Structure 1
Amino acid sequence: MNEKSQILLKFGENVRKLRISKGISQEQLAHLADVHRTYIGMIERAEKNITLINIEKIANALETDIKNLL
């Protein structure tokens, strides 16, 4: 994907903002969500087209509703 889609950019931005507001690192979030540590960075930079399952994992790890990430 050469041009990053707006939804991926917005999702990544929302994950980053919420993660930082909770005072946790990308590595800590990855551990809580049971995903690879580099995956969170790729999501925050809109480099990954994330699956619904992983959206749910990240939302649960951040203790938020999925709608708050979209």
Structure 2
Amino acid sequence: MDVRQTIGWNVKRLRVARGLSQERLALEANIDRSYVGRVERGLENVTVSTLEALSNAMNVHVSVLFEQIDAKAERPAALRSGRKPKTGL
């Protein structure tokens, strides 16, 4: 797995674990939503500034985005699509 794929895997893994949509992560990191998707697919050569913005938005150290992936690990699952139901009405 190359570095771009490793970063993308970790971004998606962390984003899904925190229950963030690509749109919410992009908003909090002040980047475009479609860019987040391309990063997660390993298609973008991400800048240090973007790595910092993504890690800050997910409250992790930037080094976590470079963690090696276990070859046996399954791809992170996607979040359920659609809006979350309103509560407390």
Query: TM (normalized to structure 2)?
Result: 0.72
CA drift at 1:7 = 0.4
1:63 and 2:65 matched: no
Distance across 2 between alignment mates of 1:24 and 1:53:
20
Q: Structure 2 residue aligned with 1:11, among 2, 7, 26?
A: 7
Which of the pair has more CA radius of gyration?
Answer: 2
RMSD: 0.9
* Equivalence for 1:52: 48
Cα deviation for residue 40 of structure 1 reads 0.3
- Matched letter for residue 27 of structure 2: H
Distance in 2, Cα, partners of 1:69 & 1:48: 14
Match of residue 37, structure 1, among 30, 33, 39:
33
Moved over 4 A (4+): none
The letter of the residue matching 2:61 is D
Identity across aligned pairs (percent)? 35
Aligned residue pairs total 66
1:52 to partner: Cα distance:
0.3
In structure 1, list runs of 5 or more residues that go unmatched: none
Distance in 1 (CA, whole Å) between partners of 2:7 and 2:19 is 18
2:24 maps to 1:28: yes
Where 2:37 maps in the other structure, the secondary structure is helix
Amino acid at match of 2:14: L
1:36 is aligned with what amino acid?
A: D
- Pick the structure with more helix per residue: 1
